[in-house]
A and B are shown apart, each in its own frame.
Chain A
């Protein structure tokens, strides 16, 4: 069989295709079909020649790796798996992408399945190895590239194919339409207005100071996150808005290696920026959303500046700013008294250098802040990045990898972990579920809502009596 009904080289561009894939629960049929999926070796080699050019960094990296092994201990999956030599980053990339190139794309089904399993279950694209390689070889970047080759050939985990299909159909990683989004914003403003008089979620306002963008999971499954963002903007007196379209900043397409959908998705956010002309954009507490839209996106869209159309901030930059300039003030009596630690998201700490912003926030809100070790740019991945959390096929491997983060957290002695990233938040929630070590986890927003001083005129009515 060349291509399956579900597992194939076709892109998921229609709701019908998406629905059919979803109905194949857990990808049962999908993975069966993958056993027979052929490899289009001509296409693979043509793509390699086109994208792995002479003097490209990935090609240079493949060639100059000295197999010194310095990257070994940098990888949390190597550490979590009893230093298994097959988990050494250089081995993982040389045995997959390196071989693909050496064999000029002449590989078989079993090889492609091995590439898929390696690219999605042995690397979260956290890029930590790149900091320890004497040549600066970044295997995370190379694995992202390998994911693209796997995606093109149809060797991609079921949930990732669905994720990229969602972006193609809905311009969001979940089935949230423009109407759904707008209605959810209106609903949240209405429901929370009882406690926060005057609360609004301004939609599609032109020329606001801030355009706020989110993760589709917020309107779909956790709308309180959106309400909390609105409350904090409201209390800080910000002039803000959300776009009607182009509000989704995440990119499962990036995790899936669907390069075409990466561009489609991020372009919708840039279009919103052009349409609404905000002074700045702020994205919710998500790591990979920031990476996709602020770091990688400009290149996907061919923006010569390498920057998004308007200045773009991660949520932690905004929080640090308003605490610093006094737009939000923390009630000293409500600061966190118990020991608390902080998860550094790879995507905006290691890959965007925002570590000091989160430390600044901690200095305002916590009395006993305890750093994990290592931390900041050197922190380990939460254990669930790069799509790892969301792929059922690799649950055992993901859970094994969580041990490193569990031990880091336990060593701090803190029972509360602040995780300003959805992926990290999920991984820490899951590690508690798996290991039952007695920790709690939180985004910044719910903590801040409880801690900030509320100006008299914005206080809930019952407190005015």
Chain B
């Protein structure tokens, strides 16, 4: 298992760079992924996506469908892509500390 060190914090990550221990998630991780994903500035909208993903994951143990994410944030699909260019399944889940989705993704 690989470890990522960023701003004094340490994160265990899987082979695709997703955190393996959800409890390690913190603001530094968000900042780390933000740079990786090429996101200029974290807005309240980014934060809302993260919050919705985490709440759903904590309840269901899996990432939500994009439809659910859109419904709960009230963001249109195009806007979700504007916020997370690599897509809700990759960039947003990674930033929220969710595991990499399984299957063909």
Count chain A CB atoms within 10 A of each CB in B70, B76, B77 and give the residue with the most: B77
Q: Is A175 part of the binding interface, using a Cβ–Cβ cutoff of 8 Å?
A: yes
A395 and B16 in contact, given A26-B99, A187-B67 (Cβ under 8 angstroms): yes
CA gap between A151 and B89 in the complex, in Å: 28
Q: Which of B25-33, B45-53, B58-66 contacts A (4 or more CB under 8 A)?
A: B58-66
Complex contacts, A223 vs chain B, CB 8 Å: 66-67, 77
B76 contacts across to A, CB distance below 8 A: 191
The CA of A26 and the CA of B78, in the complex, are separated in Å by 31
Complex Cα gap A422–B62 (Å): 22
Question: Taking CB as reference atom, which chain B residue is nearest A392?
Answer: B15
CB distance A392 to B14 under 8 Å? yes
A39 at the interface (CB under 8 A from B): no
Mark each residue of chain A from 366 to 403: 1 if its CB lies under 8 Å from any CB of chain B, else 0: 00000000000000000000000110100110000000
Q: Which residues from chain A contact B87 at a C-beta distance below 8 Å? A: 221-222
Asked whether A23 is an interface residue with its Cβ less than 8 Å from the other chain, the reply is: yes
Q: How far is the CB of A377 from chain B (nearest CB, A)?
A: 24
Considering residues A26, A221, A227, A396, which has the most beta carbons from chain B within 10 angstroms of its beta carbon?
A: A221
Give the total of A residues in contact with B, Cβ under 8 Å. 39
> How far apart sit A312 and B88, CA to CA, in the bound complex (Å)?
32
Nearest residue, chain A, Cβ from B66: A223
Expressed in whole angstroms, the Cα–Cα distance for A455 and B16 within the complex equals 44
Asked if B16 and A392 make an inter-chain contact with CB atoms under 8 angstroms apart, the answer reads: yes
Are B65 and A176 within 8 A (Cβ)?
yes
| Pick from A26, A227, A395: contact of B20, CB under 8 Å | A26
Q: How many residues of B contact A (CB 8 A)?
A: 24
Cα A19 to Cα B57 in complex, Å, equals 12
Contact call A220/B66, Cβ cutoff below 8 A: yes
Cα A389 to Cα B15 in complex, Å, equals 12
Interface residues of A in 22-37 (CB under 8 A from B): 22-23, 25-26
The residue among B77, B87, B101, B105 with the most chain A CB atoms within 10 A of its own CB is B105
Interface residues of A in 150-171 (CB under 8 A from B): 159, 162-163, 166
Known A215-B104, A389-B104; judge A220-B65 contact (CB<8 A). yes
CB atoms of A216 and B103 under 8 A apart: yes
Q: Which residues of B contact A159 (CB under 8 A)?
A: 102-103
Query: In the complex, which of the residues B15, B65, B81, B101 has the most CB atoms of chain A within 10 Å of its own CB atom?
Result: B65
Q: Is A180 an interface residue (CB 8 A)?
A: yes
Closest CB in chain A relative to B60 CB, distance in Å? 9
Q: Is A265 an interface residue (CB 8 A)?
A: no
A221: contacting residue among B15, B16, B101, CB under 8 A: B101
A230 contact set on B, CB distance < 8 A: none
Give the CA-CA distance A174 to B89 in the complex, in Å: 12
For this complex, 15 residue pairs linking A to B, each with C-beta atoms less than 8 Å apart, are: A25-B20, A26-B20, A174-B102, A180-B65, A188-B77, A191-B78, A220-B103, A221-B66, A221-B105, A222-B87, A223-B67, A395-B16, A396-B15, A422-B104, A426-B104
Instruction: For the A-B complex with A217-B89, A223-B77 known, give 4 more contacts whose Cβ atoms are closer than 8 Å.
Output: A174-B102, A180-B65, A191-B76, A217-B104
